[in-house]
């Protein structure tokens, strides 16, 4: 592995933010491999914690994208993985009484630069907010 980040791989984070912020589900889905997995740890109340195919991921995105914005920073690449931090806001979160959540993102890319696995981890302070959020749905 070279010490230099792969510009094409790092572009995935910029494309993810652009597609998310324009609420473009099709563009987001184009970033994923054919049989991707997305994990949310912990689960957002009312949603599963694991999505195992494009159909499930599309449904998750359709639930989270309305009224949402993401701001990513600190992207680091190691091999075929990219780690970064994201600040997410969404109508789905506001319905839980939360405005913005901070999370740690890790994307594992295949040889074509598509996301095979996306792990979204919420740090302990965010977990406490999620678990303590009133259930308004």
| Residue 94: per-residue pLDDT | 81
| Residue 7: per-residue pLDDT | 60
| Residue 3: per-residue pLDDT | 43
Residues 6+ apart with CB under 8 A from 124: none
Reading the block at residue 127, the tokens are 């977990």
| Residue 43: per-residue pLDDT | 78
What is the Cα–Cα distance from 61 to 66, expressed in whole angstroms? 9
Q: Does the pLDDT value for residue 120 go beyond 90? A: yes
What is the Cα–Cα distance from 101 to 93, expressed in whole angstroms? 8
For 88-108, what is each residue's pLDDT tens digit?
988 877 887 778 888 999 999
| Residue 100: per-residue pLDDT | 85
| Residue 64: per-residue pLDDT | 85
What is the Cα–Cα distance from 67 to 132, expressed in whole angstroms? 22
Neighbours of 115 (CB within 10 A): 20
């Amino acid at each position: 592995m070279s010490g230099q980040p792969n510009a094409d791989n790092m572009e995935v984070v910029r494309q993810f933010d652009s597609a998310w912020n324009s609420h473009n589900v099709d563009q987001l889905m184009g970033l994923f491999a054919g049989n991707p997995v997305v994990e949310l740890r912990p689960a957002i109340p009312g949603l599963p914690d694991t999505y195992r195919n494009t159909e499930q991921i599309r449904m998750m995105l359709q639930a989270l994208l309305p009224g949402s914005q993401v701001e990513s920073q600190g992207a680091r690449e190691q091999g075929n993985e990219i780690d970064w931090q994201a600040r997410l806001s969404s109508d789905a979160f506001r319905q839980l009484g939360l405005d913005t959540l901070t999370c740690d993102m890790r994307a594992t890319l295949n040889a074509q630069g598509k996301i095979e696995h996306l792990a979204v981890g919420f740090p302990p302070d965010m977990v406490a907010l999620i678990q303590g959020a009133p259930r308004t749905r």
